[in-house]
């Protein structure tokens, strides 16, 4: 069958489902009088209320999307979100070692600051001492909150700055 014939048959089937059923039943039972050939095309569609006509002057309005889907937050009754661990976990022994090392860095830094403050301190060195104390406070807060890696990093920064002030 040609594409045009298929379209006509499809339109006929959609417009007249009962007639299409009888056409299929007739095709499934081969008659002896007719050899196997293409069936006759269905009668043309009627121009009636059965087929809706499109009015070209009618305009369809579409809502414009903002670009991203809206997020729906379910506060109660929703499934709990799984906890995600970004950094690999530490064993108890590793945590103890990390805490001990951080405490050693903070103690050493504190001792360095006491040595530095025995001499006269200019404004530039005073700013560095202030930064060292800030790092030390942040390190203690991070360890207290359970963020051992961050606490260790901050304690190390404070210690390195204090060593630099001692040398210079």
At residue 142 the predicted structure's pLDDT band, cuts being 50, 70 and 90, is very high
Mean per-residue pLDDT, 58-66 = 58
pTM for the full predicted model: 0.48
pLDDT above 60: residue 107:
yes
pLDDT above 90: residue 160:
yes
- Output the DSSP codes for 84-130: ---SPP--HHHHHHHHHHHHHHHHHHHHHHHHHTTS---HHHHHHHH
Residue 46 confidence (pLDDT):
59
Q: What are the CA-CA distances from residue 53 to residues 5, 50, 62 (Å)?
A: 22, 9, 21
CA-nearest of 141, 66, 155, 34 to 104 is 155
Helix (H, G, I), strand (E, B) or coil at 67: coil
Query: In this predicted model, what pLDDT tens digit does every residue of 76-89 receive, in sequence order?
Result: 766 666 665 555 67
Q: Output DSSP code: residue 36.
A: S
Give the CATH number of domain 92-167. Answer: 1.20.1270
Pick from 10-14, 54-58, 141-145, 152-156: least confident: 54-58
Residue 52 confidence (pLDDT):
55
> Residue 168 and residue 163: Cα distance in Å, rounded?
9
pLDDT above 90: residue 136:
yes
Mean per-residue pLDDT, 123-143 = 94
> Residue 57 and residue 25: Cα distance in Å, rounded?
42
pLDDT above 60: residue 148:
yes
pLDDT above 90: residue 139:
yes
Provide the residue ranges of all domains of the chain, joining segments of one domain with +: 1-49, 92-167
> Residue 24 and residue 121: Cα distance in Å, rounded?
103
End-to-end CA gap in the chain: 95
Residue 1 confidence (pLDDT):
52
């Amino acid at each position: 069958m040609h594409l045009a014939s298929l379209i006509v048959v499809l339109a006929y089937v959609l417009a007249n489902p009962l007639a299409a059923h009888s056409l299929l039943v007739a095709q499934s039972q081969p008659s002896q009088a007719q050899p196997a050939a293409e069936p006759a095309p269905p009668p043309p569609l009627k121009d009636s209320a059965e087929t809706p006509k499109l009015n070209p002057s009618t305009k369809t309005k579409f809502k414009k999307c903002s670009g991203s889907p809206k997020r729906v937050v379910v506060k109660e009754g929703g499934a709990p979100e799984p906890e995600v661990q970004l950094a690999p976990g530490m064993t108890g022994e590793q945590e103890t070692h990390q805490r001990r090392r951080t405490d050693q860095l903070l103690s050493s830094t504190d001792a360095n600051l006491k040595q530095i403050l025995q001499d006269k301190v200019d404004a530039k060195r005073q700013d560095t001492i202030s930064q060292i104390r800030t790092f030390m406070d942040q390190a203690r807060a991070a360890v207290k909150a359970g963020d051992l890696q961050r606490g260790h990093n901050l304690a190390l920064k404070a210690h390195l700055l204090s060593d630099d002030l001692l040398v210079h």
